[in-house]
Protein backbone atom coordinates (compact mmCIF):
# COMPACT_ATOMS: atom_id res chain seq x y z
CA UNK A 1 0.00 0.00 0.00
CA UNK A 2 1.60 3.25 -1.20
CA UNK A 3 1.63 6.45 0.79
CA UNK A 4 -0.14 9.24 -1.08
CA UNK A 5 0.48 12.93 -0.65
CA UNK A 6 -3.18 13.40 0.28
CA UNK A 7 -2.53 11.38 3.44
CA UNK A 8 -0.18 14.06 4.74
CA UNK A 9 -3.17 16.24 5.62
CA UNK A 10 -4.54 13.49 7.87
CA UNK A 11 -1.27 13.40 9.84
CA UNK A 12 0.37 16.83 9.86
CA UNK A 13 -2.72 19.05 10.14
CA UNK A 14 -4.15 17.35 13.29
CA UNK A 15 -0.61 17.23 14.72
CA UNK A 16 -0.13 20.97 14.15
CA UNK A 17 -3.50 21.82 15.69
CA UNK A 18 -2.79 19.51 18.62
CA UNK A 19 0.49 21.34 19.29
CA UNK A 20 -1.32 24.70 19.26
CA UNK A 21 -4.13 23.49 21.54
CA UNK A 22 -1.70 21.81 23.95
CA UNK A 23 0.33 24.99 24.28
CA UNK A 24 -2.74 27.12 24.96
CA UNK A 25 -4.00 24.64 27.56
CA UNK A 26 -0.58 24.91 29.21
CA UNK A 27 -0.83 28.72 29.05
CA UNK A 28 -4.33 28.62 30.54
CA UNK A 29 -3.11 26.47 33.43
CA UNK A 30 -0.29 28.93 34.16
CA UNK A 31 -2.65 31.89 33.86
CA UNK A 32 -5.06 30.39 36.41
CA UNK A 33 -2.60 28.95 38.92
CA UNK A 34 0.54 31.07 38.40
CA UNK A 35 -0.62 34.29 36.72
CA UNK A 36 2.55 36.25 37.55
CA UNK A 37 4.55 33.95 35.24
CA UNK A 38 2.49 35.02 32.21
CA UNK A 39 2.47 38.39 30.49
CA UNK A 40 -1.33 38.48 30.58
CA UNK A 41 -1.44 37.95 34.34
CA UNK A 42 1.37 40.46 34.90
CA UNK A 43 -0.52 43.07 32.87
CA UNK A 44 -3.71 42.34 34.83
CA UNK A 45 -1.94 43.37 38.04
CA UNK A 46 -1.06 46.71 36.45
CA UNK A 47 -4.65 47.12 35.24
CA UNK A 48 -6.02 46.52 38.73
CA UNK A 49 -3.66 49.14 40.15
CA UNK A 50 -4.68 51.50 37.34
CA UNK A 51 -8.37 51.13 38.22
CA UNK A 52 -7.65 51.83 41.89
CA UNK A 53 -5.74 55.01 41.06
CA UNK A 54 -8.42 56.22 38.65
CA UNK A 55 -11.26 55.78 41.14
CA UNK A 56 -9.27 57.61 43.84
CA UNK A 57 -8.06 60.45 41.63
CA UNK A 58 -9.61 63.73 40.49
CA UNK A 59 -11.58 64.56 37.33
CA UNK A 60 -8.46 65.23 35.26
CA UNK A 61 -7.19 61.70 35.86
CA UNK A 62 -10.64 60.31 35.06
CA UNK A 63 -10.67 62.11 31.71
CA UNK A 64 -7.26 60.60 30.92
CA UNK A 65 -8.59 57.18 31.90
CA UNK A 66 -11.53 57.59 29.54
CA UNK A 67 -9.07 58.30 26.74
CA UNK A 68 -7.26 55.04 27.51
CA UNK A 69 -10.51 53.06 27.50
CA UNK A 70 -11.65 54.77 24.30
CA UNK A 71 -8.43 53.74 22.54
CA UNK A 72 -8.95 50.13 23.61
CA UNK A 73 -12.55 50.25 22.42
CA UNK A 74 -11.49 51.68 19.06
CA UNK A 75 -8.85 48.96 18.62
CA UNK A 76 -11.37 46.22 19.40
CA UNK A 77 -13.91 47.75 17.01
CA UNK A 78 -11.29 48.01 14.26
CA UNK A 79 -10.36 44.34 14.60
CA UNK A 80 -14.07 43.45 14.53
CA UNK A 81 -14.30 45.19 11.16
CA UNK A 82 -11.17 43.41 9.92
CA UNK A 83 -12.54 39.99 10.89
CA UNK A 84 -15.89 40.74 9.27
CA UNK A 85 -14.24 41.98 6.07
CA UNK A 86 -11.94 38.96 5.80
CA UNK A 87 -14.87 36.62 6.42
CA UNK A 88 -16.81 38.29 3.61
CA UNK A 89 -13.83 38.01 1.25
CA UNK A 90 -13.36 34.33 2.06
CA UNK A 91 -17.07 33.72 1.56
CA UNK A 92 -16.96 35.42 -1.84
CA UNK A 93 -13.84 33.46 -2.75
CA UNK A 94 -15.57 30.23 -1.74
CA UNK A 95 -18.57 31.10 -3.89
CA UNK A 96 -16.35 31.76 -6.91
CA UNK A 97 -14.03 28.78 -6.62
CA UNK A 98 -14.07 27.72 -10.27
CA UNK A 99 -10.56 29.06 -10.89
CA UNK A 100 -8.91 28.25 -7.61
CA UNK A 101 -5.19 28.91 -7.42
CA UNK A 102 -4.73 26.53 -4.52
CA UNK A 103 -6.16 23.55 -6.45
CA UNK A 104 -2.85 22.97 -8.18
CA UNK A 105 -0.23 20.30 -8.63
CA UNK A 106 2.26 22.70 -7.02
CA UNK A 107 0.58 22.15 -3.63
CA UNK A 108 1.97 19.02 -2.00
CA UNK A 109 -1.09 17.77 -0.20
CA UNK A 110 -4.79 17.12 -0.58
CA UNK A 111 -6.28 19.54 -3.13
CA UNK A 112 -9.70 17.95 -3.52
CA UNK A 113 -12.69 20.25 -3.48
CA UNK A 114 -14.06 18.73 -0.27
CA UNK A 115 -10.77 19.39 1.53
CA UNK A 116 -10.68 22.96 0.22
CA UNK A 117 -14.18 23.51 1.60
CA UNK A 118 -13.04 22.24 5.02
CA UNK A 119 -10.14 24.71 4.94
CA UNK A 120 -12.47 27.61 4.18
CA UNK A 121 -14.90 26.58 6.91
CA UNK A 122 -12.10 26.29 9.51
CA UNK A 123 -10.76 29.75 8.68
CA UNK A 124 -14.25 31.27 8.70
CA UNK A 125 -14.85 29.70 12.12
CA UNK A 126 -11.66 31.27 13.50
CA UNK A 127 -12.58 34.69 12.13
CA UNK A 128 -16.12 34.37 13.50
CA UNK A 129 -14.81 33.48 16.98
CA UNK A 130 -12.36 36.39 16.82
CA UNK A 131 -15.18 38.73 15.78
CA UNK A 132 -17.34 37.64 18.73
CA UNK A 133 -14.44 38.03 21.18
CA UNK A 134 -13.58 41.53 19.97
CA UNK A 135 -17.26 42.54 20.18
CA UNK A 136 -17.40 41.35 23.79
CA UNK A 137 -14.13 43.16 24.51
CA UNK A 138 -15.54 46.43 23.19
CA UNK A 139 -18.76 45.87 25.16
CA UNK A 140 -16.86 45.44 28.43
CA UNK A 141 -14.70 48.50 27.81
CA UNK A 142 -17.82 50.59 27.09
CA UNK A 143 -19.40 49.27 30.29
CA UNK A 144 -16.25 50.22 32.23
CA UNK A 145 -16.58 53.69 30.74
CA UNK A 146 -20.07 54.01 32.22
CA UNK A 147 -18.95 52.72 35.62
CA UNK A 148 -16.02 55.14 35.88
CA UNK A 149 -18.03 58.20 34.83
CA UNK A 150 -20.99 57.58 37.14
CA UNK A 151 -21.49 60.71 39.32
CA UNK A 152 -21.04 60.09 43.04
CA UNK A 153 -20.05 56.57 42.11
CA UNK A 154 -20.78 53.92 44.72
CA UNK A 155 -19.95 51.05 42.39
CA UNK A 156 -17.61 48.58 44.10
CA UNK A 157 -14.04 48.83 42.89
CA UNK A 158 -13.93 45.10 42.27
CA UNK A 159 -16.77 45.44 39.75
CA UNK A 160 -14.81 47.98 37.72
CA UNK A 161 -11.69 45.83 37.92
CA UNK A 162 -13.59 42.77 36.75
CA UNK A 163 -15.06 44.65 33.80
CA UNK A 164 -11.69 46.01 32.65
CA UNK A 165 -9.97 42.65 33.08
CA UNK A 166 -12.75 40.85 31.25
CA UNK A 167 -12.40 43.24 28.33
CA UNK A 168 -8.68 42.46 28.19
CA UNK A 169 -9.31 38.72 28.38
CA UNK A 170 -11.74 38.80 25.45
CA UNK A 171 -9.16 40.86 23.55
CA UNK A 172 -6.54 38.15 24.17
CA UNK A 173 -8.96 35.41 23.08
CA UNK A 174 -9.66 37.29 19.85
CA UNK A 175 -5.94 37.57 19.12
CA UNK A 176 -5.45 33.85 19.81
CA UNK A 177 -8.21 33.04 17.34
CA UNK A 178 -6.44 35.17 14.73
CA UNK A 179 -3.23 33.22 15.41
CA UNK A 180 -5.10 30.00 14.66
CA UNK A 181 -6.52 31.59 11.50
CA UNK A 182 -3.01 32.51 10.35
CA UNK A 183 -1.94 28.94 10.94
CA UNK A 184 -4.86 27.61 8.90
CA UNK A 185 -4.20 30.04 6.06
CA UNK A 186 -0.82 28.38 5.54
CA UNK A 187 -2.70 25.08 5.20
CA UNK A 188 -3.76 26.27 1.74
CA UNK A 189 -0.11 25.94 0.70
CA UNK A 190 0.01 22.37 1.98
CA UNK A 191 0.11 20.49 5.29
CA UNK A 192 3.89 20.82 5.63
CA UNK A 193 3.91 24.67 5.84
CA UNK A 194 0.98 24.49 8.24
CA UNK A 195 2.77 22.05 10.58
CA UNK A 196 6.05 23.98 10.46
CA UNK A 197 4.24 27.26 11.18
CA UNK A 198 2.48 25.64 14.17
CA UNK A 199 5.79 24.61 15.71
CA UNK A 200 7.42 27.99 15.05
CA UNK A 201 4.39 29.89 16.34
CA UNK A 202 4.36 27.92 19.60
CA UNK A 203 8.01 28.84 20.24
CA UNK A 204 7.31 32.50 19.45
CA UNK A 205 4.18 32.62 21.60
CA UNK A 206 5.97 30.94 24.49
CA UNK A 207 8.63 33.65 24.37
CA UNK A 208 6.02 36.41 24.17
CA UNK A 209 3.71 34.96 26.85
CA UNK A 210 6.35 34.20 29.48
CA UNK A 211 7.03 36.84 32.11
CA UNK A 212 10.38 36.86 33.90
CA UNK A 213 10.10 40.27 35.57
CA UNK A 214 9.53 40.45 39.33
CA UNK A 215 6.16 41.68 40.52
CA UNK A 216 5.85 45.41 41.13
CA UNK A 217 3.74 46.12 44.21
CA UNK A 218 1.84 49.32 43.53
CA UNK A 219 1.60 51.60 46.54
CA UNK A 220 -1.82 52.90 47.46
CA UNK A 221 -2.39 56.53 46.50
CA UNK A 222 -3.60 57.57 49.96
CA UNK A 223 -0.66 55.80 51.59
CA UNK A 224 1.77 57.60 49.30
CA UNK A 225 0.19 60.99 50.11
CA UNK A 226 0.35 60.30 53.84
CA UNK A 227 3.95 59.16 53.55
CA UNK A 228 4.98 62.22 51.55
CA UNK A 229 3.18 64.53 54.03
CA UNK A 230 4.91 62.94 57.01
CA UNK A 231 8.28 63.13 55.30
CA UNK A 232 7.69 66.80 54.52
CA UNK A 233 6.75 67.51 58.15
CA UNK A 234 9.84 65.73 59.43
CA UNK A 235 12.00 67.70 57.02
CA UNK A 236 10.50 70.98 58.22
CA UNK A 237 11.00 69.98 61.84
User: So what's the pLDDT on residue 120?
Assistant: 87
The residues that bridge with 38 in the sheet, in sequence order, are 210
pLDDT above 90 (res 174): yes
Q: What does the pLDDT look like over 19-28, one tens digit per residue? A: 999 999 999 9
Q: Which residue, among 188, 181, 183, 191, has the nearest Cα to 10 in the 3D structure?
A: 191
- What is the mean predicted confidence (pLDDT) over 127-132? 94
pLDDT above 50 (res 232): no
User: So what's the pLDDT on residue 106?
Assistant: 65
User: So what's the pLDDT on residue 200?
Assistant: 96
**pTM beyond cutoff 0.85:** no
| Under 8 Å between Cβ of 6 and 110 | yes
Q: What angle do CA 78, 80, 83 make, to 5 degrees?
A: 110
Share of the chain above pLDDT 90, in %: 43
- Please, what is the average pLDDT of the chain? 83
Cα torsion at 211, 80, 170, 155 (round to 10°)? 120
DSSP assignment string, the chain: -PPPGGGHHHHHHHHHHHHHHHHHHHHHHHHHH-GGGBHHHHHHHHHHHHHHHHHHS-HHHHHHHHHHHHHHHHHHHHHHHHHHHHHHHHHHHHHT-TT-TTSSTTS-S---HHHHHHHHHHHHHHHHHHHHHHHHHHHHHHHHHHHHT-TT----HHHHHHHHHHHHHHHHHHHHHHHHHHHHHGGGG-HHHHHHHHHHHHHHHHHHHB--SPPP-PPPHHHHHHHHHHHHHHHH-
Q: What does the pLDDT look like over 69-96, one tens digit per residue? A: 999 999 999 999 999 888 888 777 766 6
Contacts of 39 (CB under 8 A, 6+ apart): 208, 209, 210, 211
User: So what's the pLDDT on residue 226?
Assistant: 45
Contacts of 23 (CB under 8 A, 6+ apart): 202, 205, 206
Of residues 189 and 195, more confidence is placed in 195
Q: What does the pLDDT look like over 96-128, one tens digit per residue? A: 655 555 556 667 777 787 888 888 889 999 999
Q: What does the pLDDT look like over 40-57, one tens digit per residue? A: 999 999 898 888 888 887
User: So what's the pLDDT on residue 151?
Assistant: 67
pLDDT above 80 (res 237): no
- What is the mean predicted confidence (pLDDT) over 187-216? 89
| Under 8 Å between Cβ of 134 and 174 | yes
Cα torsion at 102, 103, 105, 107 (round to 10°)? 40
User: So what's the pLDDT on residue 57?
Assistant: 73
Q: What angle do CA 135, 185, 138 make, to 5 degrees?
A: 10
pLDDT above 80 (res 130): yes
Amino acid sequence: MSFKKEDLDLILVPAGLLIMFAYHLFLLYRYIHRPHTTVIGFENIDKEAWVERVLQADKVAISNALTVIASNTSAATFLCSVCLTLSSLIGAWLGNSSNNFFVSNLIYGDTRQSTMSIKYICILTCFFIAFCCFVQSARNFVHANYLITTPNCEVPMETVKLTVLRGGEFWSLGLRSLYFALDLILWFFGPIPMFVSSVIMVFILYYLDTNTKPLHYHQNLNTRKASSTSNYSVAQY
